[in-house]
């Protein structure tokens, strides 16, 4: 159960509550691409994306899955000494974007490591089908299996503008199908994409709450050097809502009021290494500091997740 003191449902305790131990993700790059990169739906990828901005140095596709796991575990043992076992995190690009006959040996190689309790697969909602989900459901009978969908926005005009090349309806179909297979799933969204107002962002809490997902991960938009988004921002800054740190903390505190109370919040803001951005408007603030600021503000405002949530009829 959620601790009495916590004002929102934090993902930090999810694995201890569910599996009785701390589990640490180890990022794997299995050499996937995306349909908006390889020409099947589009080219250039998402306008905000540079995969290297969140890619650890130990994770490169020229190494075997096992080697990446071993190097990642060593990295995390030095950083998080209390991690008991690990989850192989297929994070880079779209982790189901291949035929099942190619996916099966990759996932099973990761699961063969004695310290790996399961897999987390980051992917797009248009890169799954019944066959793949049936296989993941089969794996979930013996291992932890979590699918993490990059949805990014609830608005089709935004998805088109950032070159996602899928619709929100695609996302709804994918999460419904995944839920029907009994697979644990999460979703990722970005606040501050071009053209969206603060009110529109706030409204997504009720939309997201209707999705049959277990967890959600939010990031504020960060403008990465060399991306098409950087060029768009320089040419049309008026199209972007930019939050100061205090504004973002307040925004998210109120956002939580409308969010389904049983949703785990995996992250509410992101960090990008300074070398990938032209400016760091919030300064060198780390995630743990952001969490402390959020909890303090929730206390000041006397807000709890779901205070104003209205279940859909």
Concatenating the DSSP letter of every residue in 166-209 gives: S-HHHHHHHHHHHHHTT-EEEEEEEE--TT--HHHHHHHHHHHH
Concatenating the DSSP letter of every residue in 136-161 gives: HHHHTTTSEEEEEEEEE-S-HHHHHH
| Phi, psi (deg, nearest 5) at residue 141 | -70, -25
Domain range list for the chain: 11-301
Contact at 8 Å (CB) between 61 and 30? yes
**Count of CB atoms situated within 10 Å of the CB of 297:** 17
Residues of the chain with pLDDT under 70: 1-5, 52-55, 80-83, 274, 280, 313
* Fold type of domain 11-301: TIM Barrel (3.20.20)
pLDDT at 46 (0 to 100): 93
Handedness of CA 171, 174, 88, 23 (dihedral sign): positive
Over residues 140-163, the pLDDT tens digits come to 999 999 999 999 999 999 999 999
| 286 burial via Cβ count (<10 Å: 0-12, 13-18, 19+) | exposed
pLDDT at 3 (0 to 100): 43
pLDDT at 75 (0 to 100): 86
pLDDT at 82 (0 to 100): 65
pLDDT at 12 (0 to 100): 77
How far is residue 105's CA from residue 98's CA, in Å, rounded to a whole number? 12
């Amino acid at each position: 159960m959620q601790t009495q003191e916590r004002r929102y449902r934090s993902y930090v305790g999810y694995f201890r509550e569910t599996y009785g131990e701390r589990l640490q993700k180890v990022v794997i790059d299995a050499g996937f691409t995306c349909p908006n990169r390889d020409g099947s739906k589009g080219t250039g990828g998402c306008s905000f994306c540079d995969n290297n901005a969140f890619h650890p140095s130990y994770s490169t596709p020229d190494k075997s899955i096992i080697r990446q796991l071993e190097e990642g575990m060593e990295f995390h043992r030095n950083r998080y000494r209390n991690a008991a076992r690990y989850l192989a995190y297929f994070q880079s690009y779209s982790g189901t974007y291949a035929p099942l006959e190619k996916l099966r040996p990759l996932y099973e190689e990761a699961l063969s490591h004695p310290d790996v309790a399961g897999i987390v697969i980051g992917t797009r909602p248009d890169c799954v089908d019944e066959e793949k989900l049936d296989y993941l459901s089969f794996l979930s009978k013996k291992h932890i299996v979590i699918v993490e969908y990059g949805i990014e926005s609830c608005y089709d005009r935004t998805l088109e503008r950032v070159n996602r090349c899928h619709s929100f309806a695609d996302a709804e179909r994918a999460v419904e199908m995944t839920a029907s297979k009994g697979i644990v799933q999460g979703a990722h969204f970005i606040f501050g994409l071009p053209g969206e107002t603060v009110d529109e962002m706030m409204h997504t809490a009720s939309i997201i709450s209707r999705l049959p997902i277990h967890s959600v991960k939010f990031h504020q938009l960060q403008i990465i050097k060399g991306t098409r988004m950087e060029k768009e921002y320089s040419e049309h800054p008026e199209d972007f809502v930019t939050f100061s740190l205090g504004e973002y903390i307040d925004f998210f505190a109120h956002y939580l009021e409308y969010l389904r109370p049983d949703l785990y919040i995996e992250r509410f803001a992101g960090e990008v290494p300074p070398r990938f951005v032209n400016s760091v408007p919030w300064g060198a603030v780390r995630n743990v500091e952001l969490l402390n600021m959020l909890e303090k503000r929730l206390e000041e405002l006397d807000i709890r997740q779901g205070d104003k949530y209205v279940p859909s009829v």
